[in-house]
A and B are shown apart, each in its own frame.
Chain A
């Protein structure tokens, strides 16, 4: 049942406003993709275009090599065999859980339909809630019913629009993992929209970072963090600061926190000044280090401290230190750079 999704260079406009600008990505059968970006970047529009709620003005959307959308054609939503989970779940309040899940199965044989509903109820871990009504369920339960309803007709592609945004933070990642297990189990191709990178990391095989209607980078979560393609991605994914550095060798740059040796040759010319991304975990707290900085602010995060530091020349960096290294504000502490793979941008 599972399908391949191919989005090719699509544009979507609302009136005169162009919301999507040549968005392309491909998901192989069973792969889970994620649209990640700040609010208003157009990520939900991608989903709505795939669902057929929004016509596209350029490009193609193909599912299993069949055209679903093009500038001159838009297959009606109800014929696309897609499942969709909505941000507010959109459960029908006048129907029981079983009726909600069975809503898309109207042409199924009675017995088969009941069996499918039972199967899904078991899958979402709510086998006894068939007769309950949506308002009697907790947010997490409603979310799972919405997922079951979308999956009931065995859609080729499952679309999820910020499905966890109304959940508690603790519940979110747990649910994201659960959903990932269910999707993997059923081998469903899915597209998720979120603005929460942890959610994206927890669920997606491939993440598209979107900004102002364009895909800035698509990759795995690990690569987005460690090899951001541009400043936007570097800034959006994870924390960190960008500090200036001078290229002093084929493999080395010199920053005010010390000389760093890269694991591969640097493309910039010798003597150029470039920008280098420094993540909090790249800055090690080391009392023996000669380099020092002053604690400007600190945030206790349980297992570790996130320190906001300022060097003598005024550059600010972040430092992740183990929880027992409790320093006061305005205290001067020793730091050391622990960087082996540099993320270098041209200076602007």
Chain B
């Protein structure tokens, strides 16, 4: 529904504000978004693929550790890493201060890259988004039959030759899929770009909405952003379809491990350490320091209330999302009607839609409904219903469902998909009705994936910034919003406690994910 709302605005007659936008900032939005996408695309590709290849077929010190630790940056929301790096590298931050102390330079005596720039944003986003590429590329490398690699070796390729000529092309669909995920996140990002003051679509939507008060123009921006996103969705879908073919044989053995001796091993070690260090360890340490400094004044009753709010919101949202997902997915398994299949398809695109777009798409129809209802009640019953939907948690919850139902569906679907249909038939032939079959057979077998779905939605809701920012009722805050607000007020250190909590919670699904990956190596 939000998508339809947004799309309908593409056709609506243009207001003055739109013309104004067109004249002034739209071109900037376009170029900035394009630059961001190119930069982040290259960044995530080089970091992700290098690390994936090193950790899947080479042997060097710390390989096992890196294999899962490289996922850790996923737990770090981009906007949080952006604050910390700004805090660390800006003029008054520890790095530059130290530099001045050592060299005696003063202000303006030296060149230091500006963190709050588009280059900085590309770096920030690449550091936290490369795990998408890493994850899918590594899975593809591990899935590749060792035979094709060995064949390429017997045909005269050396290690790098077989990487470029065999492994990389075979993994291409997975890499493309990973990159499009990273780019979707880039497009959806609001916190980082807004903090760095870069004009892209998400910030533009926000500014047009709240600054210029023009919902139509904001919706138009959102619609253009959606076009970008759907292109990416199509790219991703297409590459996934091809990915079915990268299982070149059904025979697996342990992957060969090429020993990288001495200096080469060290280089590999450093190559894997850097992204981890930059994307997770450094910012986490910085946040830790700040939090130690400030937690006494920050952790008070209101902070506990905030945490409670956030957790209860996330808990309700994740339960709801999983229940809906179970309902939909199981409905498809039982009945498999075209309507069910289509609705799952539609719902599943929700994750790709940026939070700002979802928010705008939710609030417009809800506000219309509220105003109409209110006017009707006032006219007929002399009674005001107020903002029933749009100003309430219901709107927030609805937006979360639009955005995160896809995640829970994916997880639940994966779990249910592993249960062969003959299991259903077996239970039926032993006298169980479909509902009993579900509780007796399916749920116990897939409880792992249901739990995973719960956790992932939980964490995603905790991290979610833009939609919450737009839709939350007055005086209702979440940790993410609080951290963002404090950071926007340049109270970086004060925001660290909330940020650290988000990161800590965000670690849970990452660890789960890395565990399930190491357990799922085909053939073993």
Contact = CB atoms under 8 A, between A and B. Distances in A.
Interface of A: 51, 53, 76-84, 86-90, 92-94, 103-104, 106, 149-150, 152-153, 159
B427 interface: yes
A80 to B, nearest CB: 8
A87 B422 contact: yes
Given A93-B445, A94-B444, A94-B445, A77 B428 contact: yes
Nearest to B428: A77
A53 B425 contact: yes
24 contacts: A51-B429, A53-B425, A78-B429, A78-B433, A79-B431, A83-B430, A84-B425, A84-B426, A86-B426, A87-B422, A89-B422, A90-B422, A90-B425, A90-B426, A93-B445, A103-B427, A103-B440, A104-B430, A106-B431, A149-B426, A149-B430, A150-B430, A153-B430, A159-B429
Contacts, number: 57
A89 B425 CA distance: 11
Contacts of B441: 92
Contacts of A152: 430
B99 interface: no
Contacts of B420: 88, 90
B423 interface: yes
Please provide the 9 A-B residue pairs with the shortest distance between their CB atoms, ordered closest to farther: A104-B430, A90-B422, A77-B428, A86-B422, A84-B429, A90-B426, A78-B431, A90-B423, A94-B444
Contacts of B432: 78
Nearest to A90: B422
Interface of B: 420, 422-423, 425-433, 440-441, 444-445
A329 to B, nearest CB: 35
Contact of A92 (B423, B425, B429, B433): B423
A92 B445 contact: yes
Given A78-B431, A159-B429, 12 more contacts: A76-B428, A77-B429, A78-B432, A78-B433, A84-B426, A87-B422, A92-B423, A94-B445, A103-B427, A104-B430, A104-B431, A153-B431
A90 B432 CA distance: 15
A78 B425 contact: no
Contact of A51 (B425, B427, B431, B433): B425
A135 to B, nearest CB: 13
Q: Chain A at the B interface: mostly helix, strand, loop or mixed?
A: loop
Contacts of A94: 444-445
Q: Chain B at the A interface: mostly helix, strand, loop or mixed?
A: helix
A224 to B, nearest CB: 29
A86 B430 contact: no
Contacts of A104: 430-431
Contacts of B431: 78-79, 81, 104, 106, 153
Nearest to A93: B445
B436 to A, nearest CB: 8
Contacts of A87: 422
A90 B440 CA distance: 14
A77 B425 CA distance: 8
B429 A82 contact: yes
Most buried by B among A90, A92, A104: A90
Contacts of B429: 51, 77-78, 80, 82-84, 150, 159
B426 A76 contact: no
A59 to B, nearest CB: 21
Contacts of B422: 86-90
A96 to B, nearest CB: 13
A86 B420 CA distance: 11
Most buried by A among B422, B430, B441: B430
Contacts of B426: 84, 86, 90, 92, 149
Most buried by A among B431, B440, B445: B431
B471 to A, nearest CB: 41
Most buried by B among A78, A82, A84, A153: A78
A90 B425 CA distance: 9
A81 B429 CA distance: 7
A83 B429 CA distance: 6
A126 B222 CA distance: 65
Nearest to A103: B430
A90 to B, nearest CB: 4
A92 B426 CA distance: 9
Contacts of A88: 420, 422
Contacts of A106: 431
Nearest to A82: B429
A199 B440 CA distance: 34
Nearest to B433: A78
A121 B445 CA distance: 24
B255 to A, nearest CB: 23
B458 to A, nearest CB: 25
Contacts of A89: 422
A88 B418 CA distance: 13
Contacts of A86: 422, 425-426
Contacts of B433: 76, 78
A132 B359 CA distance: 52
A77 B423 CA distance: 13
A101 to B, nearest CB: 10
A33 B394 CA distance: 61
A289 B469 CA distance: 99
Contacts of A80: 429
A327 B173 CA distance: 56
Nearest to A102: B430
Contacts of B428: 53, 76-78
A148 to B, nearest CB: 12
A76 B430 CA distance: 12
A90 B423 CA distance: 5
Contacts of A78: 428-433
A93 B445 CA distance: 7
A111 to B, nearest CB: 20
A50 to B, nearest CB: 10
A88 B445 CA distance: 17
A104 B429 CA distance: 9
